[in-house]
Structure 1
Amino acid sequence: MQRKAIEIVPPLTIIYQELHEPNAYSNYGTTIDLLYWVLIRLRDPYIKSVNKDCFESVLQKVPSEMKATPPNLIFQIASAKQSTSEEKWKNAAQGHSTFYAYHGSRLENFHSIIHYGLQQNMCKTALFGKGIYLSSELGVSLPYSPVGYGWGGSVLGSELSCVALCELINHPDVKQGNSGDTSRNRVVDSAGGKVPNKYYLVINSELVRIRYLLVYSQDFRAPRSTDRRGLMAWFGRHKLLTFVLGYIVLLTSVGLTHNKHVEKYYRLFVQKAGFD
């Protein structure tokens, strides 16, 4: 039911205009109910966009050694002041330091991840033990976030992928591949040995919180350059001007072909080039 409602949702600018009409609810009743549920009822956590100028400072929370494609958009995941889950996090963090790491997942998983957090019992990968897998490298997490298809009316585009930037508590239940302590670099049920380098394995979901969402949008990736596709798109948007320019070029070409001076220099050029 909700999926069908999402598919017929028009762009929000249209909905905003239609809300002032007297029959708005009869036309968009299901859509309005859905938006109310998403935007009003689900207020913890809430999402804030991050200014483009701050992208580098966000990514520097986990300095990467590997080259990775930067995101097109970054959103901060913020919690309400009276959030129970945030209070649990703060209590668990007392006496411990914290650090950041990346977590990749499929696009359709992020609604649950944002609102209910990462859960160790929901993670299917268990080569090195059951838990939540994260990495200190964005390039390691990106392959776990394939492109998914979202709402076609979104300004972000319909093809998206997301990576979560999480804050972790430096607790013994957060296993680290770069630790020399065997109690910190493996779990009891591991089939593959110790946790690999640049990986983290969290076996207690209360020790990890999502702080940022890195979004990769197919629409935002399109380069704004003067290549052939960009030039053809410009011609497509300016059809009348293109026609006028083409007509001028045609007239100029016809005029030059009947000009004696042009014919003289053309023959000299052909002779020197050795075409005769």
Structure 2
Amino acid sequence: MPDELSAFGDREMLHLWYLLGFNNHNLDQSYLGSQASFRNEYLADFITRESFTGNLTNMKSTIVQQSLNESHFEWIDSGDKRLLSWLVHVLSSEKLQVPIVGEPYRSALQGKELIVLSFDAATIIFFGVQGKKEVMDNLRRRWCEITEVDPLLKWVSSRNDDQCRWLIEKMGRSTFSWRFTPQSEALISSEDRYLFFLKNLDSSGLGLDVKRLFINDLKRKWKRKVSGNRKSKVQCNLVVNPETKTAIKEMAKKQRVTMGQVIDGLISQESTR
């Protein structure tokens, strides 16, 4: 490995990859989606094999000068699929000064790494790093406004599959325009369905007041649905072990449903096997 590369961290190495690719160096893109250590090792070997003549020290200096400080990315949780999905959507669909990077990076990179590279690779001619900072600050403010609806959704359980399916059905029948479609998403679990609902809500572009009305209307309709379901139920007194009762109570608490609904769900699952 060239000595100059020892000063490059994972982020700088990815930016260097981008710059080399931009300048038509024939990199093996199959390494792009690998773990950073494997990708870095391949890139170092590539530079050595190709007898790279560029000044790596100057390139490192340029990369640092064009990049936002790490602190500007701290609010982006690499495990928050909802936030990352919104960021990719906004940078892809809106004409901001920081567009999402194209292929092969968009397909190969995941989540936060894709966002960071997009900011690093962006060229803002007149405002430079300050322009990137303004874009980042704007995104952060918008996300704070979007998540103001979250307290209104405390009645929803991401583990209640019937409820999550119902939310998607109701959103599909509303005036909302799908930004993400059920056909394009792998909606396997109830958590997937709830995330899908949130992603469409986040990307709708509607104001907080409109979202509040929509969510409160859903809440009223869900209460009526649950109330109607209860009227059709019959009482059933069962004698079970204390451990069984405790387990059912815990499941009901996690799913935010009644103990009876837990039992109904378990029976339904068993009957469909």
**What TM-score do the two structures reach when normalised by structure 2?**
0.22
Structure with higher helix content = 2
Structure with higher strand content = 1
Max Rg structure: 1
**What TM-score do the two structures reach when normalised by structure 1?**
0.22
